[in-house]
Structure 1
Amino acid sequence: MTFEETQKGNPHRLVVKQHTFPRASIARFVGRDGRVCVSYTSSKKQFRLKPEDELFCAMRAWDERAEQGYMREIEDAFQSLAEAIIDGRVKHVGFFEKPIVNDFFALWNIRAHRKSQPIADQPIKGNITPERNLTKDQQELLEKHHIAFIRPDLTIPGRNLAGANIQTNLAIVRDQLTDARWGILKAGEGEFIVPDNFSNVRIVPLTPTICLVSQSDNDILSLDEVAEINRYAIASRKKYVFARDFSKCPL
């Protein structure tokens, strides 16, 4: 399904390329060239891509209210926690940190699902006449200010529905994650692979050598244990996996 492009020049600076796994998280895996190594499910070839590449993004699959509202809050809280874990200021994922990781894990996977299955624009049925026919500029201005609208052709943008749908699903997944217990796992040898989603197992990669795993205590992993997590990553992927350097990632 194609996405609705903005006006020429995108004057209201709406986010078009929407990361499922945040750009800041991908950036922690880049090599010296500022790129990560990507492997597609359908090909044995490997590519080096920048964190802002469209591969890592949905294309305007949810609205600005979601992207710059509750999603931004979840991402900002997680990135602050991730940095604190990486530099050693946070040594355990405890009572206060757990909801931050839960929300991030849920958001990542729900966005990956919505990227692969976007919601189509929905027509409004019945004899309805809008009070005014909004121009493209007026529609974009409303979206910039997180206000939903109806188009002149009596359709609701699917991205507006997706923003609400993702928020509803977040509440559902929060309940499913109440038993989560996140451990900080560090690779004694080797590096981790990151899939486009980790919905089959509760794992959140932080860096090439640090990840969070539910139902686990803090631990230093052997090469075989890193390989086990990497196999989970490959089994979970839908279209691709990435890493800093696949030659350092045991399987």
Structure 2
Amino acid sequence: MKKERPQKGNPHKLTWKQHIFPAASIERFLDVKGNVEVKRIGAKQSFTAKSDNKIFCADFVWDHGSESGFMKKIEDQFQALISDVLNDKIFRFSDAQNEIITKMHILCCLRFERNKIPIPSQKLNGVEPEYFTLDEREILEKKGYIYVDSNSCVSSRILTGEKILYEFDQVCRQCEHVYWGVLSATGGEFIIPDNFIKHRYLPLTPTMILAANQVSRSIGITEVEKINRDAIQLSDTYFFARKLSAAHC
């Protein structure tokens, strides 16, 4: 099946390169040339990439309304909190701040999962087909409407966005008591996996990482290397760092 794309020029500004891990977070790992170093699982050589490289993105998997709606709200709250952490050295979090971090972690996990297994389009029995043009469909999506196509089907992207939101609410209720600490590396740098499903961390900078259910503290190279080994082992397709050699990889 041909991959759906916005029409030429993307006049309605639909977000189709959808980051799994936020672009703003990746950008905190950029080197002086504006790159991170990426290595695919099983590859001998690494390569450099900008934060908008397609390897970091889902390809128009969920709808624009989900991307610009509840996902953006979660990301904005998270990035504002992390700015405070980095600028004001906040290493103890309130319940509300812990919730913001937890929501970002959950969202990254769900985006990764649904990028691998999106919800297929679904035919609605008894619903008359609609013969919208591509431009009309994009206008409807931009405005947050759910619509059917000429086959009476709701698109995979709309259903995937709805599924992510549903799963997000479910998982949030299971993680109400998770708290976070900041681990600051005194040696080495952190590696970022391509998913956080079993990785109870969220990287902040090359030398700082959020850790679930741990107190804030400084850690040495031995613990950094263990976290990095776990990150590599849990990665599905790739992992990255500011510079892999600095992460002892």
TM-score, scaled relative to structure 1: 0.95
SS in 2 for 1:77: helix
Task: Provide the residue aligned with 1:108 in structure 2.
Answer: 108
CA shift at 1:136, angstroms?
1.1
1:170 aligns with 2:168: yes
Confirm or deny that 1:63 pairs with 2:39: no
Q: Work out whether 1:179 is the aligned partner of 2:177.
A: yes
Match of 2:135 in 1: 137
1:235 Cα deviation from its structure 2 partner = 1.6
Partner of 1:86: 86
Does 2:161 correspond to 1:155? Answer: no
Question: What is residue 241 of structure 1 aligned with on the other side?
Answer: 239
Instruction: Give the unaligned 5+ runs of structure 2.
Output: none
Distance 2:7 2:247 in 1: 43
Deviation at 1:2, TM superposition (A): 5.1
Cα distance in 1 between the residues matched to 2:221 and 2:42: 27
Match of 2:203 in 1: 205
Amino acid aligned to 1:112: F
1:2-151 matched pairs, under 5 angstroms: 3-126=3-126, 128-130=127-129, 132-151=130-149
User: 3-state DSSP class of the match of 2:182?
Assistant: strand
Q: Is residue 37–residue 245 contact of structure 1 (8 Å, CA) maintained in 2?
A: yes
Q: After TM superposition, give the deviation of residue 164 of structure 1 in Å.
A: 0.7
**Aligned residues of 1:203 and 1:211 also touching (Cα < 8 A):** yes
- Per the TM alignment, residue 231 of structure 1 is displaced from its structure 2 partner at its CA by 1.2
Code of the residue aligned with 1:7 in structure 2: it is: Q
Please list every run of at least 4 consecutive aligned residues from structure 1 whose deviation after the TM superposition is greater than 4 angstroms.
none
Offset of residue 123 of structure 1: 2.0
Partner of 1:97: helix, strand, or coil? helix
Kept after mapping to 2: 8 A contact 1:122/1:158? yes
Q: How far did residue 176 of structure 1 move?
A: 2.3
TM-score calculated relative to the size of structure 2:
0.96
Distance 1:220 1:89 in 2: 13
Identity of aligned residues (%): 37
- Counterpart residue number, 1:226: 224
Unaligned runs of 5+ in 1: none
- String of CA shifts for 1:48-91, please: whole Å, max 9, x gaps: 00000111000110001100000000000000011111122523
What amino acid is aligned across from residue 134 of structure 1 in structure 2?
A: F
Cα pair distance change 1:7/1:213, threshold 3 Å: same
Amino acid at match of 1:40: R
CA contact (8 A) 2:29 2:205 kept: yes
Instruction: Report if the CA contact (8 A) 2:91-2:181 is conserved.
Output: no
Larger mean CA deviation between 104-113 and 226-235 belongs to 226-235
2:214 alignment partner, SS class: coil
Give secondary structure in 1 for the equivalent of 2:167. Answer: helix
Distance in 2, matches of 1:153 and 1:201, equals: 41
State the one-letter code of the partner of 1:69.
G
Structure 1 residues 19-71: Cα deviation after superposition (integer angstroms, max 9, x where no partner): 00011000000111101000101312100000001110001100011000000
Secondary structure at the residue paired with 1:96?
A: helix
* Structure-2 change in CA distance of 1:2 and 1:179 (3 Å): farther
Asked if the contact 1:223/1:250 (under 8 Å) is kept, the reply is no
Give the length in aligned residue pairs: 249
